[in-house]
């Protein structure tokens, strides 16, 4: 564990000092510095530390790096969204390098222009709401947290659906075609500003915050009122 952390720190240093070539940062060097300790040189994978990246492609590399899920300090940590360690240019370089390791999928395009919000809600409820909650506010599965999606860009949504990162299932085109994927991405976009015509949305997760408001705002206000009306101890 500590070796991995050490390697990571070293890699970050190297990354910061990576010589910028005319084309930008050196993806291979970055990879060797920050990723190879778990994923192996040439991305073959290290048993017990990290899987092979030879079929991961630009799709996975871009997703994991942009959402800061990788690099991961400790292989047994859950990869969660963090501010990305690398700059855009470095991510592009790393992604290109990982893509070059084998025949992996490219970054999927997402066409939101013709997206059907209703179909997206339907598909999201069918495939995603069980873990991510029907308004993409996140939830849990035994052993992990399914994160809220308000920070996810449409591309990230598409990538995650196709990759199935960490414990998430992966959905192929045969199950969710590109059209439906765009619908889902559009719906996730929409959940950032849902229709809260009822007022303060208190989290959009339903009865728990509602119960807290009922007790700690509603009943509390009325307790204050009856304290004003009534007496405190017999005079």
Partner 1 sequence: MSVWRVIVAAVLLVLRGGRRGPKPEEPVDPRERRVPINSRAQLLVAALLALGGLAGLGFSVLYLLEPGNETQWLGLALGVALALIAAALIVAGKAVVPQEIAVEERSQLVHEHDEAIVPQMVAAGGEGVTRRRLIAGAAGVAGIGVGAALVTPAASLGPNVSQRIDDTPWRRGVRVVDERGRAILADDVAFGTFVTGFPEGASLRDLAAPIVIVRLLPSTIHLPAGRPLAQWAPEGLLAYSKICTHAGCAIALYRYPSFRATQPRPALVCPCHYSTFDPARGADVIFGPAGRPLPQLPLAIDPATRELRANGGYSGSIGPAWLNVDRGGA
Partner 2 sequence: MSAAGQASRDGATPPPGRDTVRWIDERAGASPALKAALRYVFPEHWSFMLGEIALYAFLVLVGTGTFLALFFQSSTAETTYHGSYAPLFGERMSLAYWSTLRLSQDVPAGLLMRQTHHWAALIFIAAIVAHLLRVFFTAAFRKPRDITWAIGVTLLMLAVLEGFAGYSMPDDLLSGMGLAIAYGVAMSIPVIGGNLAFLVWGGEYPGTHEFTTRLLTLHIFLLPALIGLLIALHLAFVIRNHHTQFRGPGRTERNVVGTPTWPAYALRSLGLLFATAAVLFLLGGLVQINPIWQWGPYETYLATNGAQPDWYLGWLIGGLRIMPPLEIHFWGLTWIPNPFWGGAAFPLVVFGVLYAIPWLDRRLTRDFSRHELLDRPRDNPQRTALGMAFFSWVALVFFAGSADRILIRFGIPYEAQIWFARAAVFVVPVLVYLVTRRICRELQRSDAHPLRGWSGRRVRRTPAGGFAVVEPGAATQAGDDG
- Residues in contact with partner 1 by the rule CB under 8 A: 47-51, 75-76, 126, 129-131, 139-144, 163-172, 174-175, 197-199, 225, 228-229, 233-235
202 sits near partner 2 (criterion: CB under 8 A): yes
76 sits near partner 2 (criterion: CB under 8 A): no
Rg (CA), the chain: 23
CB of 155 to partner 2, least distance (A): 21
Q: How far is CA 222 from CA 54, 215, 217, 226, 234, in A?
A: 64, 10, 9, 6, 21
5, 6, 89, 222: which one contacts partner 2 (CB under 8 A)? 222
Instruction: Please tell me what DSSP assigns to residue 66.
Output: H
Q: How far is CA 223 from CA 144, 212, 216, in A?
A: 40, 15, 10
CB of 191 to partner 2, least distance (A): 9
190 sits near partner 2 (criterion: CB under 8 A): yes
How many other C-beta atoms can be found within 10 angstroms of the C-beta atom of residue 110? 21
113 sits near partner 2 (criterion: CB under 8 A): no
- Angle formed by the axes of helices 57-66 and 88-99, to 10°? 150
Catalog residues that contact partner 2 under the rule CB under 8 A.
117-118, 120-122, 125-126, 129-135, 137-140, 142-143, 145-146, 187, 190, 194-202, 204-208, 210-211, 213-215, 217-219, 221-223, 225-227, 229-235
């Amino acid at each position: 564990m500590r070796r991995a952390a050490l390697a990571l720190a070293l890699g970050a240093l190297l990354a910061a000092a990576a010589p910028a070539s005319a084309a930008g940062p050196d993806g291979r060097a970055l990879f060797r510095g920050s990723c190879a300790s778990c994923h192996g040189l040439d991305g073959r994978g290290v048993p017990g530390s990290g899987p092979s990246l030879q079929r991961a492609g630009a799709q996975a590399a871009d997703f994991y790096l942009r959402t800061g899920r990788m690099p991961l300090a400790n292989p047994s940590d859950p990869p969660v969204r963090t501010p990305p360690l690398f700059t855009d240019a470095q991510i592009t370089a790393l992604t290109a390098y990982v893509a070059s390791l084998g025949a992996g999928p490219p970054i999927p395009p997402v066409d939101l222009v013709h997206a059907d919000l209703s179909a997206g809600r339907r598909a999201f409820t069918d495939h995603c709401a069980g873990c991510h909650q029907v308004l993409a506010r996140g939830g849990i599965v035994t052993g992990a947290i399914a994160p809220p999606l308000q920070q996810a860009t449409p591309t990230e949504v598409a990538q995650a659906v196709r990759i199935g990162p960490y414990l998430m299932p992966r959905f192929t085109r045969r199950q969710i075609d590109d059209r439906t994927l765009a619908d889902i991405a559009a719906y996730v976009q929409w959940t950032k500003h849902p229709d809260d015509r009822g007022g303060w949305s208190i989290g959009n997760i339903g009865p728990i915050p509602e119960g807290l408001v009922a007790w700690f705002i509603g009943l509390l206000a009325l307790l204050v009122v009856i304290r004003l009306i009534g007496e405190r101890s017999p005079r």
